[in-house]
Structure 1
């Protein structure tokens, strides 16, 4: 039994998934899901109209700084508890015994639906980029229905690769790392080098724009800077940066497939956030300095400012070639988002939060095939509101951001409150752990409020920010289900220990009278460990 398998056994699980990922692969999956080109390109229009260049630049710096606190807190916990369940499992371990199952349940559902929203946001954004690229010559007219159809094809392609290509995923991961680093670096440098003119530093770093108003009459639109204040617009405008630097829990979800997970997985979390922050800032500056005409870019007939910048610099044929690189890169981002999503769902089913039908791992392919397609199906369903709402995509990005960050911060906050019970791993923050966890918690509380605010004025059915409604439904659903039935049926993570390996139990020092055993048809025992924390 390897060191990783021993650690997994100490957490109560047998090795079922194929373990063959190294540090670079673990870093790569989070780096690919963060995918700065995905977040920046799909929300560039939002950034230009909600605060403009100054808010985009300063917001990126501020968001990167505070997100690193979240990443540090997550990395410390990942090192101590490297398992596919990630945040919801951590909450179960870190919470007091009496409330362990409750916090695990709440964390799990926010992470579950946040991951679905991220997968939808990434791949639906890619479908939009493909539609816009196809319309560059004016021979194709994008519609909501066509975009959803493209999105369906992309989701299916990701599902097929995740199902049948598990052995090539590490290699595709390496390709993705190259695309997101060397490819995007070349993309950014090429834009700046080829641009006929460049914007001034004053434009990039000080220009504030408020195009958040919409007028349905001949009257001039009134934006939020006028109705509320420029500060309001600036705060709402950081969504682009915060949505981009999201999804780095993938390194934790892949820890059961990572070699030397106690060290590699936390480093994967930290390096993916750090490198993405630097690459994203560089890409953002290159795009902003290369804008040829601001009004033309914002009001582009193409409907996509990044594509308009490419057309202004490279012409229509050149823009298509550049967009091809971008599309291939974002495709990899969506691919690994589905990978991470499926692993979380598999772990959630393994622990009894959703139907055990989804806890099955294919013996032939060594992947959780059923949760791969469950994740794909739910992500597709989330795209359907876009057929009737122009703000559905922005809502999906907000749901993804809030849902995931709430699931990130619950275990971090629990580690702050119950720090004496937290048994740290090889990577730990020492005496700074509680300070860093507190700062991270306050930041997530702040963005959770901000991203529920309306971004467009006036507010009506077409411009309403549906994020608080969606997040409220998640919260209400999790609470109602908990008190209705889950508090009786869900007792926290169930550890699966092979019957033929009783030494695993002895090695953990678990006494028989402190276990709840449930005979499973697979020849295993599901073991409910009594939480070590005191109330």
Structure 2
């Protein structure tokens, strides 16, 4: 990896002009604020808490190794994204990257799937966060309290996002602090002072496979890692609000993966080693084990303090998700690719944020929360669809980048992998296919709807997207540039006086 010297790097305004856009946003987001945005979206605290019981009851303590496996795979993806965003530091992330690497129709489908996956993710995080809020205030966790709390989290995040990029960055940094305390701090405390098991337990399946092979059980527990490591792409969704984004965003994405992996390992490992009833958790006899572990190790007061930290992390996570989704919607609408695109692409003169897109990023998740209120059994399916949809969108970008490389594209941003770029790209694509296969494999409960709900959801999104794409032809109404990766790279090199890597 290398950064080009300053003299060979375009200014932010010049770079945006080469890409065909005007600078309309407040570039007040620093490297650390951008990293905080991605990290609080990725949110190890949310991921570990949400899937700890499921992972242990499915694959036992060795399921922790999925955190390492997926982190390595997603690091490869983040390196590919880093080269793309370094050449194309524009709002929207996956959508403009896919469009400039391939074409408008291809990008439309990638963004359509990604938008729905992000909106569903916002819903899931708000729903999971309700458990922390009700526990803090001693409220019984019912359908009604879950709905009210989830809607409150969505509205609080919307209000903060409305104030502008500076407050988004401040709350993201606060969320980062809360996450680090909640995952690394608590994890280290449990590992050092409350350990009740040997480290060898991470190689002990504790009977989850019965008398058969352990491999199927281990593969079934992959969700423990797959749910954790996305969110780093949000660093690129707000590219036009970051100072020197072509350099800083790739670094922020890599930092998000690395720090997220370390945090998740400390957190997951700490809970396993400190669990006084680990065998019962693995046997599936404890539905929500983390509160009991915290109360047993931290006491009532300590557990309450943790809940406050966790709620801050959840608010920051919803905030980051809303911000990323709104910038994607804005980028999509700015190119005339959505119904109501003029309204959706409005940017507030006062706060310099796409307020109408933010409203959509709050309202649609709120409506899904209402649906979950009437059928809370769909929450797990909703979460699983979100993960599959995001992985599919990611791989559409990775595949498009690989296609361009084979056609002669050499990324021209200041962040470059050089000659190893093609190798990283191939490995990232192979990992992504592996992850998609794991996520899309039907369950084995015997119920068709339960086992295939994730694939059914993806099919509905894909079919409706294709119907709209080929009937309304939004791509034909847009003149946004497409498939110009090689030409843009040549133009950037011409303006900066650099030559292509050989």
Q: For structure 1, which segment, 180-189 or 44-53, has the greater mean C-alpha deviation from structure 2 after superposition?
A: 180-189
| Matched ranges for 1:240-389 at <5 A | 240-297=224-281, 303-354=287-338, 355-356=340-341, 357-389=343-375
Change (3 A) 1:206 1:174: same
Change (3 A) 1:478 1:460: closer
Per-residue CA deviation, residues 184-242 of structure 1 (Å, 9 max, x unaligned), is 322223334452x51122323322554xxxxxxxxxxxxxx579964333223111211
Matched, 1:70 2:77: yes
Taking structure 1 as the reference length, what is the TM-score of the superposition?
Answer: 0.82
Mapping of residues 392-411 of structure 1, within 5 Å: 392-411=378-397
Please point out which of 201, 225, 237 is paired with 2:221. 237
Aligned counterparts of 2:376 and 2:444: Cα–Cα separation in 1: 11
One of 14, 37, 40 as aligned partner of 2:48 = 40
Q: 1:131 aligns with which of 120, 131, 134?
A: 134
Aligned to 1:424: 412
Deviation at 1:435, TM superposition (A): 1.8
Describe the shift of the 1:114–1:490 C-alpha distance in structure 2 as closer, same or farther (beyond 3 A). farther
Q: Deviations over 1:354-410 (max 9, x none)?
A: 122110001111111111110011122233443354542222222222212222221
- Is 1:48–1:209's contact at 8 Å kept on the other side of the alignment? no
CA 1:492/1:142 → structure 2, altered by over 3 Å: closer, same or farther? Answer: farther
1:101–1:490 CA contact under 8 A, matched in 2 = no
The unaligned stretches of length 5 or more in structure 1 are 211-224, 496-506, 509-535
Mapped contact 2:56–2:281 kept (Cα < 8 A): no
1:61-210 correspondence to structure 2 within 5 Å: 61-95=68-102, 100-134=103-137, 140-195=139-194, 198-208=196-206, 210=208
Following TM superposition, by how much is the alpha carbon of 1:267 offset from its aligned partner in structure 2, in angstroms?
0.9
Tell me, in whole angstroms, the C-alpha distance in 1 between the residues paired with 2:389 and 2:419: 29
Give 1:7 deviation, angstroms. 0.7
Q: Which moved more, 1:242-251 or 1:386-395?
A: 386-395
Gap change, CA 1:371 and 1:149, over 3 Å in 2 = same
How far apart are residue 169 of structure 1 and its match? 2.2
Structure 2 contact 136–307 (Cα < 8 Å) conserved:
yes
Contact 1:119-1:337 within 8 A present in 2 as well:
yes
The answer as to whether partners of 2:36 and 2:172 remain within 8 angstroms in 1 is yes
Equivalent in the alignment of 2:454: 467
In terms of mean alpha carbon deviation, does 305-314 or 198-207 score higher? 198-207
Q: Deviations over 1:55-75 (max 9, x none)?
A: 2x1111111111111111111
Bigger shift: 332-341 or 383-392?
383-392
Task: Report if the CA contact (8 A) 2:336-2:474 is conserved.
Answer: no
Name structure 2 gaps, 5 residues minimum: 1-9, 483-490, 493-502
Q: Is the 8 A contact 1:121 1:393 kept in 2?
A: yes
- Contact 2:179 2:310 (8 Å CA) reproduced: no
Asked if the contact 1:183/1:325 (under 8 Å) is kept, the reply is yes
Deviation per CA, 1:413-456, whole angstroms, max 9, x where unpaired?
A: 11212211354311111222222112211222222222123456
Deviation at 1:297, TM superposition (A): 4.3
Partner SS, residue 361 of structure 1: coil
Following the alignment from structure 1 to structure 2, what is the Cα–Cα distance between the partners of residues 209 and 335? 40
Kept in 2, the 8 Å contact 1:416–1:433? The answer is no
CA–CA distance in 1 between the matches of 2:432 and 2:246? Answer: 25
Q: Structure 2 vs 1, CA of residues 391 and 449 (structure 1 numbering), >3 Å: closer, same or farther?
A: farther
Q: Rg: which structure is higher?
A: 1
Decide whether aligned partners of structure 1 residues 456 and 492 sit closer, same or farther in structure 2, where only a CA change above 3 A counts: farther
Which residue of the partner structure matches residue 219 of structure 1?
none
> Do 1:247 and 1:404's aligned partners in 2 also have CA atoms closer than 8 Å?
no
Q: Deviations over 1:248-304 (max 9, x none)?
A: 111111110111111001111111111111121122111111111125546899842
Shifted more, 396-405 versus 228-237: the winner is 228-237
TM-aligned CA distance change 1:102 to 1:329, over 3 Å: same
Normalising by structure 2, we get a TM-score of: 0.87
The answer as to whether partners of 1:94 and 1:422 remain within 8 angstroms in 2 is no
- Alignment of structure 1 residues 10-21 onto 2, 5 Å: 10-21=18-29
Task: Kindly indicate which of the two structures has a greater share of residues assigned to helix.
Answer: 2
Deviation at 1:162, TM superposition (A): 0.4
Cα 1:490–1:471 shift into 2, 3 Å: farther
